[in-house]
Chain A
Amino acid sequence: MRSVLRIIGTAAGTLLAASLVIYGALALAPGDPATELAGPRATPRLIAQIRHQYGLDRPLPVRYWSWLTGAVHGNFGISLQFRESVSALLAPRLPVTLELVAYASVIIFVFGLGLGLLPSLSARLNVLVTVTAGVGIAVPTFVAALVLVEVFALKLGWFPAVGTGTGFAGQVEHLTLPAFALAFSWAAYVAQISRASVREQQGREHVTTARGRGLPSPLVFRRHVLRNAAMPIVTVSGLTVAGLIAGSIVVETAFGIGGLGSLLVQSVSAKDNNVVLAISMILVVAFVLATTLSDLAHLALDPRIRASARS
């Protein structure tokens, strides 16, 4: 229980530190949101007025503190380009990105784990899986996106090339190509890790012991190989899901999906700092959440970690 609390405490600390760094970096970045907002023919007086209106003339620590207290209460300020509260702006877009990420996660889990476990059925598949996974990891997301659109949307016409669609079936249909594009290299990575860790565990002495006791092979595989190989697979899967949210930036832009990713790109070029800040924090939260969950999973999977965390 104490180790669970410690993991959660670490997560909260990480969030706070990350918010400070991101806020500071955005404030120090070249370019002035007020100048951007006032347009090319603005007078210095107008710029000063805008600065005052949005509180940009206050000292940095004061601005950070008021942002932080607001953020804790779910208030992320006003978007400079849309003149709308950031929360209202994000509300319809967050579910789109989460759906995309969830869809991609399922693909990664099914294909990555499936491909990774194939060699344990037959040693001859080992080379095939290694090569396939190696090539898969090397393909950048935007290339995967372009190829999928070219083949499945334009040539075969199986799936739409852009948009989000309505209703569950429509969404699944519209999100299939983006999700596969997003999942592609991550699935290959998970396959690679699963293959390697299963292979490593199969060579362990305790697996020899289990085989030497005449246990049926499926039982040996489940209880002594897969169970022990699960730990690195869980870690990588956790990081993968967190990385997907960042990866969605490219995919949403490529497929014209109105999620967080495309909004982030748009807001960065408009110097809309409050929106950039909010989306960045969502990315950080996703990462922290994923690593925290995989830490907790490790506690559940490995009694030795439980013991060392206790002492």
Chain B
Amino acid sequence: MSAPLLELDRLAVRLPVHGELSTVIHDASFEIAAGEALGLVGESGSGKSMTARAIMRLLPPRAEISGSVSYLGQSVPGFSRSALRDFRATQIAMIYQDPRAHINPVRTNGDFLLEAMLAQGVRPAAARERAVGLLAQVGIADGGRRLRQYPHQMSGGQLQRIMIAAALVTSPRLLLADEPTTALDVTTQAEVMAILGDLRVERGLALLFITHDLDLAAAVTDRMAVMYAGMIVEIGSSQTIHQDALHPYTVGLLRSRPKIGSRARIWVIPGRPVSAFEAGPGCVFAARCPYATGRCRTERPGLREVERQLVACHRAEELKGSVSFSAEAAISD
């Protein structure tokens, strides 16, 4: 098998908060092959966006990282300034949750779409033609007129399409999509996801799709990684995880989805989500897990192969298929 496009090995990130370094990512290991779509799923604050930022080297100043991030076998943290610029300009692109904040409001859409190409020396006429073509592909027909307009004249959905087009103008090989549809209404969300899916297949683009929506991730990705409190707790084929999740957190996450047609209250995992820096020495989920034992609280489980996926749980084998989060299970602890 050839080397993966992107490989993270025991990535840990610490950020300065009030002058002290706090851990935001404990342990993130995964790889993305060329053309593959990997979902990174977890709730707010679990470290998904920080993982993407670490890959792009866009972490806040004075952030500390350990472990490795490599792109085509080369260490991203080891890139020189010009190699980093090159990497960002030609290999990787990122689209963000809130296009309104992530696109300069005082510059035209055209400025935004063209600047990356112009900086690389593409001639303005060619760059414009390419931008209009890409806008058509993301479902914006009157591209020529849109280039002259400003971001505030676009709807949220249109602006996210512009963001997608802008990410693709330089033909990257890897796209990081950080909750690209969360700020959009459901219909627009479906359209944007369809566009993203088509373009990805058409261009053989690898995708890291960050979302809190497990169903959405299962629908659009080949594999997915579930993240909790700065740690990847389970990773495997999207279909397998969606149907036979092993980690109690993943099972809980799957159970707490709203069901269409049901008027019942949405079930929630008991307890409060912890931040990465609050986690004790044991399993990051131990405090909320009904199956946690003494070992779970003192020894942190690493990712290991169980069945067809990787899971970070000491009791994965014995609990397989029986995790239920019922009242009895909680008491039996």
Q: Using a CB–CB distance below 8 Å, which chain A residues touch chain B? A: 123, 204-206, 208-216, 219, 223-224, 227-228, 301-304, 307
- Residues of chain B within 8 A (CB-CB) of A219 are 115, 119
**A214-B85, A216-B85, A228-B106 are known contacts. Are A206 and B101 too (CB-CB below 8 A)?**
yes
Report B93-124 CB contacts with A as 1/0, cut-off 8 Å.
11010100111111110010001100100000
* A–B complex contacts, Cβ < 8 Å, 23 sampled: A123-B61, A205-B98, A205-B101, A206-B102, A206-B103, A209-B103, A209-B104, A213-B116, A213-B170, A214-B86, A214-B88, A215-B89, A215-B115, A216-B119, A223-B104, A223-B107, A223-B111, A227-B106, A227-B107, A303-B152, A304-B105, A304-B150, A307-B153
Of the candidates A210, A212, A307, the one whose C-beta lies within 8 Å of that of B152 is A307
- Tell me whether chain B's interface is mostly helix, strand or loop, or mixed: helix
Let me know if B90 is at the binding interface, CB within 8 A.
yes
Q: Which of A204, A208, A214 contacts B89 (CB 8 A)?
A: A214
Q: Point out residues on B near A: beta carbons under 8 Å.
A: 56, 58, 61, 84-90, 93-94, 96, 98, 101-108, 111, 115-116, 119, 150, 152-153, 166, 170
Nearest CB in chain B: distance from A205 CB, A: 4
A302's nearest neighbour on chain B, judged by CB, is B106
- How far, in whole Å, are A228 and B101 apart by their CA atoms in the complex? 13
Q: Given the complex, which residues of B lie within 8 Å of A123, measured CB to CB?
A: 61
The residue of chain B having its C-beta at the shortest distance from the C-beta of A230 within the complex is B106
How far is B87's CA from A109's CA once the two chains are assembled, in angstroms?
39
Expressed in whole angstroms, the Cα–Cα distance for A2 and B22 within the complex equals 53
What separation, in Å, do the CA atoms of A232 and B106 have in the docked complex? 14
Please give the distance in Å from A37's CB to the nearest CB on chain B. Answer: 57
Determine whether the beta carbon of A301 is less than 8 Å from that of B106: yes
Nearest chain A residue, comparing its CB with the CB of B89:
A214
Most A CB contacts (10 A, CB to CB) among B84, B104, B105 go to B104
Task: Provide the residues of chain A in CB contact with B153, threshold 8 Å.
Answer: 307
Given contacts A215-B85, A304-B105, 15 further A-B contacts (CB under 8 A): A204-B101, A205-B101, A206-B105, A209-B96, A212-B93, A213-B115, A214-B85, A214-B116, A216-B85, A223-B104, A224-B104, A227-B107, A228-B105, A302-B106, A307-B153
Cross-interface CB contact of A208 among B58, B119, B152, cutoff 8 Å: B58
- Complex CA distance for A210 and B106, rounded to whole angstroms: 14
Complex: A121 Cα to B182 Cα, angstroms: 36
CA–CA, A30 and B107, complex, Å: 56
Query: B104 to A210, Cβ gap below 8 A?
Result: yes
Q: Contact: A228 with B104, CB < 8 Å?
A: yes
A212 to B116, CA, bound (A): 10
Contact B89–A213 (Cβ < 8 Å):
yes
A303 B89 Cβ-Cβ under 8 A: no
Which residue of chain A has its CB nearest to the CB of B87? A214
Q: Separation in Å of the B88 CB from the closest CB of chain A?
A: 3
Name the B residues within 8 Å of A216 (CB-CB): 85, 119
How far does the Cβ of B160 sit from chain A's closest Cβ, in whole Å?
13
Q: Which residues of B contact A224 (CB under 8 A)?
A: 104, 107
Identify the interface centre among A212, A302, A304: most chain B CB within 10 Å of its CB: A212
Contacts of A304 in B (CB 8 A): 105-106, 150, 152
Cβ of B84: which chain A residues have Cβ within 8 Å of it?
Answer: 214
Closest CB of chain B to A124's CB: distance in Å?
12
> Smallest distance from the beta carbon of A16 to chain B beta carbons, Å?
34
B119: chain A residues within 8 A (beta carbon): 214-216, 219
Cβ-defined partner of B104 (8 Å) among A206, A212, A301, A307: A206
Q: Establish whether residues B96 and A205, one from each chain, have CB atoms under 8 Å apart when the complex forms.
A: yes
In the assembly, what is the distance between CA of A212 and CA of B111, in Å?
16
Contacting residues, chain A, for B87 (C-beta < 8 A): 214
Chain A minimum-CB-distance residue to B90? A214
Task: Give min CB distance, A44 to chain B, whole Å.
Answer: 67
Cβ-defined contact, A303 with B106, below 8 A: yes
Picked from B58, B98, B115, the residue with its CB within 8 Å of the CB of A212 is B58
Residue in chain B with minimal CB distance to A303: B150
Within the complex, the shortest CB–CB distance from B158 to chain A, in Å, comes to: 16
How far is B107's CA from A176's CA once the two chains are assembled, in angstroms? 40
Contact B150 A215 (CB under 8 A): no
Least CB distance, B109 to chain A, in whole angstroms? 11
Specify the chain B residue showing the minimal Cβ separation from A301. B106
* Cα of A304 to Cα of B61 in the assembled complex, Å: 31
Chain A residues near B93: list those with CB within 8 A. Answer: 212-213
Docked-complex contact A215 and B106, CB < 8 angstroms:
no
A211 near B58: Cβ-Cβ < 8 Å? yes
Instruction: Name the A residues within 8 Å of B104 (CB-CB).
Output: 206, 209-210, 223-224, 227-228
Question: Nearest B residue to A219 by beta-carbon distance?
Answer: B119
Bound CA span A307–B149, Å: 11
A210 to B56, CA, bound (A): 12
Q: What are the residues of chain B within 8 A of A213 when measuring CB–CB?
A: 88-89, 93, 115-116, 166, 170
Cα–Cα, bound, A185→B289 (Å): 62
**What's the Cα separation between A53 and B104 when bound, in Å?**
65
State how many angstroms separate the Cβ of A284 from the closest Cβ of chain B.
32
Give CA–CA (A283, B85) in the complex, Å: 52
- Chain A residues near B108: list those with CB within 8 A: 303
Q: Which residues of B have CB within 8 Å of A205? A: 96, 98, 101-102
Q: Which 8 pairs show the lowest CB-CB distances between chains A and B? A: A214-B89, A214-B88, A205-B101, A303-B150, A206-B104, A209-B102, A214-B85, A205-B102
**In the complex, what's the smallest C-beta–C-beta distance from A112 to chain B, in angstroms?**
22
